[in-house]
Amino acid sequence: MPDISVRQQEIIDLARARGRVAVDDLASRFEVTPQTIRKDLNELCERRLLSRVHGGAMVASGVENLGYEARRQIGSREKRAIGEAAARLIPNNSSLFLNIGTTTEEVARALSDHEGLLVITNNLNIASILYPHPRIDVIVAGGPVRRSDGGVIGGAAVDFIKQFKVDHAVIGTSAIDPDGALLDYDFREVRVSQAIIGNSRKVILAADRFKFERSAPIRVAHMSQVNVFVTDWLSSEPVAAACREHGVEVIETSGEPDADDVG
């Protein structure tokens, strides 16, 4: 197979910076036809440098997570709607865990009007979002801070989490396998998420449809351990079947997107 072209390298660089690229945007940027861009994307996907998604492609990331800013950019509108829907499930005067993730950060933003909350988190970004609110108490887990995203990880954070038993946990995940497994990249983060799930009375998974298109090497949990799944569109029928089998309530914030919205 020939070396990649200059244009294809630029496409890879854009995908790494943004997390996801769209055919129409690339065609306009490089002043070529959409068919030419689709051919570029197909070649890059054959080399496992990118993964095709409807309307474009994203970084092929099976063993290494995307950068924090790239994750924030992927599905930002969808994450905001998911965050608002998940926040509506949290009653006033309750306790909850929020773990690491750009979607759980949107949940935190949507909680700002709540009263009487006790929020325990291993995410410094969530702590920064919520601590100014006088009617919300915030407790941050201790341990090493991951420089890439402000996540607190490791054994000390696990031990800290295990001291609590809370009403709700709102968790994110990096990928969702067709068999219903929730997957992530860092075993230290996974251990904290497992402790959060194990010490919560009700587990709410907040994840957008793009998680069905990704893979990660470490199993966090299974959909059977989730009570409510909040997503923009449950586009994976195998995951939908797993939710039905295990009695998981599914809340979709938008349903199947229009072609113009997919990118």
Q: What DSSP string describes 38-51?
A: HHHHHHHHHTTSEE
Q: Would you call 170 helix, strand, or coil by DSSP?
A: strand
- pLDDT at residue 259 in the model: 42
- pLDDT at residue 73 in the model: 65
- pLDDT at residue 260 in the model: 41
- pLDDT at residue 26 in the model: 96
Distance CA 58, CA 14 (A): 10
Distance CA 238, CA 216 (A): 18
Q: Would you call 159 helix, strand, or coil by DSSP?
A: helix
Which one-letter DSSP state was computed for residue 234?
-
Determine phi and psi for 77, rounding to 5 degrees: -65, -40
- pLDDT at residue 263 in the model: 40
- pLDDT at residue 205 in the model: 98
Domains and CATH numbers, the chain: 6-60 (1.10.10.10), 75-262 (3.40.50.1360)
Q: By the 8 A CB rule, do 184 and 190 touch?
A: yes
Q: Which helix (H) or strand (E) holds 160?
A: helix 155-161
Q: Which helix (H) or strand (E) holds 214?
A: none
Distance CA 5, CA 143 (A): 45
pLDDT along the chain (263 residues), means of 10: 82 80 94 95 85 81 59 77 98 97 95 96 96 97 91 95 98 95 93 97 95 89 98 96 98 72 43
pTM as predicted: 0.78
Q: Which two structure tokens, joined as six digits, stand for 22? A: 């769209």
- pLDDT at residue 60 in the model: 62
- pLDDT at residue 168 in the model: 98
Average pLDDT of the chain, as a whole number: 90
- pLDDT at residue 227 in the model: 98
